[in-house]
Structure 1
Amino acid sequence: MADSSFLSPDFEIRWSTLTADQVEPGVRQALTDAQAALDALATLPLDAVTYDNTFLALERATESLTLVWGKVTHLKSVADSPALREAHNKVLPEVSTFFARIALNPDLWARLRAYAESPAGQAHEGIHRRFIDETVADFRQAGADLPDAQRARLEAIQTELAQITQRYSEHVLDATNAWQIVIEDETRLAGIPAHARESARRSAASKGLGTADKPAWRFTLQMPSLEPVMVYAEDEALRRAMWSASTAVGATTEHDNRPLVPRILALRDEEAKLLGQPHFADHVLARRMAGSGQRALDFVVDLQTKAAAAFARENAELEAFKADQTGEPVGPLKAWEVMFWAEKLRRQQFDFDDEILRPYLPMNRVIGGLFTLAERVFGLRITERPAGEVEVWHEEVKFYEIRDRDDRHVGSFYADWHPRESKQGGAWMGYLITGGPQSDGSRLPHLGYILGNMTPPADGKPALLTHREVETIFHEFGHLLHHLLGEVEIKSLNGVNVAWDFVELPSQIMENWCWERESLDLFARHHETGETIPDEVFAKMIAARNFRSACATIRQVQFAKMDLLLHMQTDAFIGEPTELDAKISAAIADTMVPTEPPGRPMVYRFGHLFSGPTGYAAGYYSYKWAEVLDADAFGRFKDEGIFNADTGADFVRHILSRGNSADPAELFRAFRGRDPEVNALLERSGLLVAD
């Protein structure tokens, strides 16, 4: 048996032992063990099948492999290195092929089907009925009923998709890290907030650029560096350079995703047709709340229709504002001007600048306030383990434990909040260990992580965040709670393993507390004085909340519409990369802010769609779909009190603890008392038009 640190089942993971040379032996051993378990299941006499030796055995068979592979992929996302990347990519095809083959194993499927169709299998109720039904549906959706030749082709598609989407992801990361612009003339920094200038100076110094007497400022495509320039920099050439570089990520010769996207689309389309579906969207959405690609597209187009007039009005207003301020004729803005002039317009209309909130949003207070909110609403007590007591993968990472009202250790998690070159961009939540109720009546804790790329601390001061960064932290924490509070006996039905258009409800609902005065006062306090946000600043913040909300809505519609059209009308888009660009641009033209030059579709850097075999592919609409759910669900908190512990307990009981133990529409109705209504979202966004 292989000896690899990745095979350790320890809850408190010894990250220092998880080195690149341990990846291959660990993964290979886990693959061997998992295959042996599946082989045993697949050779059972058909008259000897039971629930334990089929469905539960299948659940147990891949647990070790899932843990090992979860550690490998997690490390690659937070501590990438050439050696780790090489080790990961070496075993990736084997792992992908293994998982693809499970549902395509006819002997395995015969045993599962034999038990599911037996009187004993039909007699199950509750969570075990759900598990059998979901597993059978998973197998059928994955191609279990296909003839041999088609099963073999499907397996090959899955393996190639895993490899090609991994390359896509690496290209985005490498292209992002490869670009920088170094400024030596301080006058070019006019308008950029002090915190961003200081971060840029420290970034330059870390690369040996500039001196104490003659500093330099280094800007990158990492969001904490990019965004302040695009919003505030008076230097148009600087904004143009960063816009050009950011929109070119994944579309340059060195890190080129242009030939990969058509191939990914073609493979997905072929997969769907092999499985009897007209296109990939219907294949993916068959068991989600939307049910079909057309219903998802209808939902997106309906939102677009409801926001269209306001979208046109907001664009015209911005063009007129710029013309008034500059004396130039009214006309489309340049693509790198939109965020810049929008911020100036917002300041004029509301006398409000997001930057005024930074001193009131120090990371430590935000995290502390979030934990206090979780205690008051959900009955949770969250404590940090002392530094050095638990191993972490980087010195900035913290480790926490969560206990509930009954003092049960429900779970633990790691938090890693700031950007590094070895860490992928964005913010996300994931899990490493699924605990929950055990068959003997005990309960084991869950283990997860929560990560981001937030503004880092500077010169002894705490990290001072934007309000949007705070929303992101609350969002990912909602995902984390969905995993850590799971009370589902079947691990594969726990937590975030739910329909993709339901999974954002627990995360997005948390963002609502970032806009309520009562909850803001828990954490939004000046990092030096401890004072809360002044009333006049809060009033302006709320007044400005829906500034250009139609543009924000249509931007999400744009991404969702592009995603669905690519996966519903694949044949119409596949071609040379230049053709793909033009076709996508034409398809989403009515969702683009009119600029000169026109904005570029983000298809070559759209990790949500193309950094995994499926991911958010044909599912990006889920964000807006779940916004309908979260806006309506939060309405109950608004009615009953945003800190109402009984309402919070109901949200845990009906949503956070239930995972995929029941149909998501049923879970929502259990909490809200009815089906969701779209007007709550439209009202919150300022887009509800009276009849």
Structure 2
Amino acid sequence: MNPLLDFSGLPRFDAVQPEHVTPAIRQLLDENRALTERLIAPETAATWDAFVQPMLDAGERLSRAWGIVGHLHSVNDVPPWREAYNAMLPEVSAFYADLGQNLALFAKYKALATGAEFPALSPARRRIIENELRDFRLSGAELPEEQKPRFKEIQEELSALGAKFSENVLDATNAHAEWIEDEAGTKGLPEDAKAAARAAAEKDGKPGWKFTLHAPSYIPVLQFCDNRDLRARMYRAYATRASEFGPAELDNGPLIDRLLALRNEEAKMLGYASFAEVSLATKMADTPGQVASFQRDMAAKARPFAERDIAELRRFAAAELGMDTLESWDLSWASEKLKQARYSFSDDEVKQYFPEPKVLAGLFRVIEALFAVKLAPDAAPVWHPAVRFFRIERGGKLIGQFYLDLYARETKRGGAWMDEAITRRRIQHGVQTPVAYLNCNFPAPVGEGTQMRPATFSHDDVITLFHECGHGLHHLLTQVDELPVSGIHGVEWDAVELPSQFMENFCWEWDVLSGMTAHAETGAPLPRALYDKMIAAKNFQSGLQTLRQIEFGLFDLLLHSEFVPGAGKGFMDLLADVRREVAVLVPPEWNRFPHSFSHIFGGGYAAGYYSYKWAEVLSADAYAAFEEAARSSGSTLDAATGERFWREILSVGGSRPALESFKAFRGREPQPDALLRHNGMAVAA
């Protein structure tokens, strides 16, 4: 049996091969098409059981199989898997485009929405029907018949361009390496970063140290390495990835122009003024103007702090480092020196207290304390030997499982993300438990055998891990039995980051950190004095960080709301305008950040990057409830508040509007005060 067609349990990563993809996906596409024809026939009643349930069952089989293929394309991007994925991507895109434009299907859903059964359906099922009707309209179902083929072509090309964009970024990242043969050229680098670079060189059979553009190699060079020439070369290579400064076949510039033109055309066909309006149709925010005002208001509050941050850095660099000019490749390095001078500690010093086993144990302890669950190792086939598998139980009963793929690899796309393998739903024999993929790009353990040294994580890495686990908990702790609104399904995009950003807050609590640290060499826990320094430095350059996020978010929004592709002004010109408006630090003219902005060109964040900051307001306000509880209980790991957060936010998934869920938890509308306070910017407000 083709392992991609086996839905009896977990994905069979020990058996599935690239050659399984085309026959399995084609069979599932054929089955779905045949079923759709039967369901749109007049004799099929427009009821949940006769019409919707069979659609969901067949659709899940296709999405699960294709999800495995997409996952392997992301974490094992070797040529055979890339070819297998890209071979079927056009057919899968075409199928969903056809489905979204099927007027008979649309009519069936409309008949159900106006029929006698609808008022008697559960709130979750009614929300699913309402979402389906909205999505049909966004998929072009109401377009004139003569326009539908063109709309379908747009969807297929957008899917292909998005995949190609991400592949170009990965290939351009892999294409560059820097070699240092004299150890003096590595001065300032942490020992584990040097060891990893040495191991990389040895793997290639070369002397010295090899540095790449992958985050575990690139970030330490920019942050710690005293070799300014190396920093400059690495920065330029990183900042010009997938642009006209490299191989023409990897240049994402033309892809960006094409993506923007197609999105604009799609919006106009649907009767919207811009693609941003299309994007916001499925989000909490109402209009591009509202989002722009939100971001500009945040920028105004952050700007005085950002200006103070950069003035302090320039003064320090001139007085203590002898640098009259700070270039972009100097900023992280000089900031680290300032941070060490001001707070008397370095990120590398902190990193030695976060070995992977202690971090995972601490993370699991937080989850167990908050949500009355138990986590334990489990067994399953995996796609790489470094991947681990865990189970979550509540009241002695299995409620979810997840894969943990922590380390960076050349065949794995960058960044960190959560994705679903299986979604909770009610099936014939009970409840199907959800399964998640949690993916990061952390440095791997160094050494071999008994000399193997566990991976150590920076505090930023720990925050990233908690963040992705927040997404995972949203998916895994749902109690909704209807797949389209179970877990993260059906949750407005600008609220999806609420649980993930909420979890980050625990990484700053002493009663959490003190129990998840042990020095890599001595085993000693994190000293309270060092923790106090970390807290003092928590909002170091928070003004600059906030403006950077708003720069990305406003650029994304204006790119999809006011920018007109091909009208004489390029997307780099728009980025320059945005920087003039909100930034206090402007990178070199040759910096090509948009060419690797995978969130909006290769992912799902187009006209939605603002969601990170929008959801930060929600998450900070939600966390404030735990801070309030801690005043009487003595700890933010408050079980009663955790139970309420689980019941009102995590368990309900997308079965009701996110604002309703927030108000059910907090008892009121969200307020920005907690976020400004957490970021040390409450005074300006």
Residue 446 of structure 2 aligns with an amino acid whose one-letter code is A
Residue 634 of structure 1 aligns with an amino acid whose one-letter code is Y
- What aligned pairs does 1:47-446 form with structure 2 within 5 A after superposition? 48-210=45-207, 216-251=208-243, 252=246, 253-327=248-322, 329=324, 333-385=326-378, 389-404=379-394, 406-438=395-427, 442-446=430-434
Q: Deviations over 1:457-505 (max 9, x none)?
A: 1121110110000000101011111111111121011111211111001
Residue 443 of structure 2 aligns with an amino acid whose one-letter code is T
1:627 matched residue in structure 2: 616
| Contact 2:4–2:12 (8 Å) recurs in 1 | no
How far is 1:327 from its partner?
4.4
Once structures 1 and 2 are overlaid, which stretch shifts more, 502-511 or 248-257?
248-257
How far is 1:444 from its partner?
2.3
Q: Deviations over 1:580-633 (max 9, x none)?
A: 323322232333343573573511101101114xx0000000001111111110
Could you say what secondary structure the match of 2:149 adopts? Answer: helix
1:583 matched residue in structure 2: 574
How far is 1:527 from its partner?
3.2
- Which of these residues, 645, 651, 663, is aligned with residue 669 of structure 1? 663
Alpha-carbon distance in 2 for matches of 1:262, 1:12: 40
1:16 matched residue in structure 2: 14
| Contact 1:435–1:444 (8 Å) recurs in 2 | yes
Residue 71 of structure 2 aligns with an amino acid whose one-letter code is H
Q: Deviations over 1:302-355 (max 9, x none)?
A: 1001111111221122122212124454x5x21111111111111111112111
- Which of these residues, 655, 658, 661, is aligned with residue 652 of structure 2? 658
| Contact 1:352–1:544 (8 Å) recurs in 2 | no
- Which of these residues, 438, 442, 452, is aligned with residue 440 of structure 2? 452
> Does 2:30 match 1:42?
no
Residue 546 of structure 1 aligns with an amino acid whose one-letter code is N
Number of equivalences:
672
Segments of 5+ residues of structure 1 without an aligned counterpart are 211-215
Alpha-carbon distance in 2 for matches of 1:394, 1:99: 31
Q: Deviations over 1:83-108 (max 9, x none)?
A: 11111111100000111111201111
Alpha-carbon distance in 2 for matches of 1:646, 1:326: 51
How far is 1:155 from its partner?
1.1
How far is 1:438 from its partner?
4.3
Alpha-carbon distance in 1 for matches of 2:614, 2:363: 25
- What aligned pairs does 1:628-643 form with structure 2 within 5 A after superposition? 628-641=617-630, 642-643=636-637
- What aligned pairs does 1:508-587 form with structure 2 within 5 A after superposition? 508-571=501-564, 573-574=565-566, 579-587=570-578
Segments of 5+ residues of structure 2 without an aligned counterpart are 631-635
TM (norm. structure 1) is 0.95
| Contact 1:249–1:605 (8 Å) recurs in 2 | yes
Residue 403 of structure 1 aligns with an amino acid whose one-letter code is E
| Contact 2:559–2:574 (8 Å) recurs in 1 | no
Alpha-carbon distance in 2 for matches of 1:544, 1:391: 42
Alpha-carbon distance in 1 for matches of 2:441, 2:163: 21
Residue 566 of structure 1 aligns with an amino acid whose one-letter code is L
Alpha-carbon distance in 2 for matches of 1:105, 1:199: 54
Residue 17 of structure 2 aligns with an amino acid whose one-letter code is T
Alpha-carbon distance in 2 for matches of 1:159, 1:629: 35
Q: Deviations over 1:521-580 (max 9, x none)?
A: 221222344322111111110000101000000010011011001000131x5468x943
- Which of these residues, 595, 601, 605, is aligned with residue 604 of structure 1? 595
- Which of these residues, 667, 674, 681, is aligned with residue 675 of structure 2? 681
Once structures 1 and 2 are overlaid, which stretch shifts more, 77-86 or 594-603?
594-603
2:633 matched residue in structure 1: none
Alpha-carbon distance in 1 for matches of 2:367, 2:594: 37
Alpha-carbon distance in 1 for matches of 2:475, 2:165: 28
| Contact 1:11–1:447 (8 Å) recurs in 2 | no
Q: Deviations over 1:44-65 (max 9, x none)?
A: 337x322222222322231111
| Contact 2:67–2:421 (8 Å) recurs in 1 | yes
| Contact 1:239–1:336 (8 Å) recurs in 2 | yes
Residue 10 of structure 1 aligns with an amino acid whose one-letter code is S
RMSD in angstroms over aligned alpha carbons? 1.7
| Contact 1:415–1:451 (8 Å) recurs in 2 | yes
| Contact 1:230–1:336 (8 Å) recurs in 2 | yes
TM (norm. structure 2) is 0.95
Aligned pair in 2 of structure 1 residues 439, 134: CA closer, same or farther (>3 Å)?
Answer: farther
Aligned pair in 2 of structure 1 residues 128, 671: CA closer, same or farther (>3 Å)?
Answer: same
| Contact 1:314–1:550 (8 Å) recurs in 2 | yes
How far is 1:416 from its partner?
0.7
> Does 2:452 match 1:476?
no
- What aligned pairs does 1:23-34 form with structure 2 within 5 A after superposition? 23-34=21-32
Alpha-carbon distance in 2 for matches of 1:416, 1:328: 41
Alpha-carbon distance in 1 for matches of 2:609, 2:161: 20
| Contact 2:402–2:438 (8 Å) recurs in 1 | yes
Could you say what secondary structure the match of 1:401 adopts? Answer: strand
How far is 1:514 from its partner?
0.4
Alpha-carbon distance in 1 for matches of 2:627, 2:524: 26
> Does 2:649 match 1:649?
no
Q: Deviations over 1:112-148 (max 9, x none)?
A: 2122112322443421221211211221222222211
